[in-house]
Amino acid sequence: MKAAFVMVKCELGRLEEVANAVMELDGVSEVHSVTGSWDLLVKLFAPSYEAFGDLIPDLLQKVPGVRETQTMLAFRAFKPS
């Protein structure tokens, strides 16, 4: 499985509703509310990197109350030695 992190900005005042809806999407494993200019950090998994190209516009961006997203694909996970 491949991992991606997606930063999400919500319509103002809808953070909790969006976070709960995102949490129910297939492949989403973590949703955190964060300080700064983004509202949520989402970790999700897909069988291939190509799959994120569909998953994010077709699923995540269609959650009501999502206003903007920024995707970072995770390439390597470093492990303690």
Residue 3 sits in the site that holds a second copy (CB under 8 A): yes
Residue 34 sits in the site that holds a second copy (CB under 8 A): yes
Residue 1 sits in the site that holds a second copy (CB under 8 A): no
Among 1, 20, 27, 45, binds a second copy (CB under 8 A): 20
For residue 23, count other CB atoms closer than 10 A to its CB: 13
Among 27, 31, 44, 46, binds a second copy (CB under 8 A): 31
Element (H, E) at 20: helix 15-23
Give me the amino acid identity at 63: V
- Pairing of β 2-10 and β 40-46: antiparallel
For residues 56 and 13, what is the distance between their CA atoms, to the nearest angstrom? 22
Residue 71, token pair as written in the block: 């995707």
Chain residues that interact with a second copy, rule: CB under 8 A: 3, 5, 9, 12-13, 15-16, 19-20, 22-24, 30-39, 41, 49-50, 52-53, 57-58, 61-62, 66-81
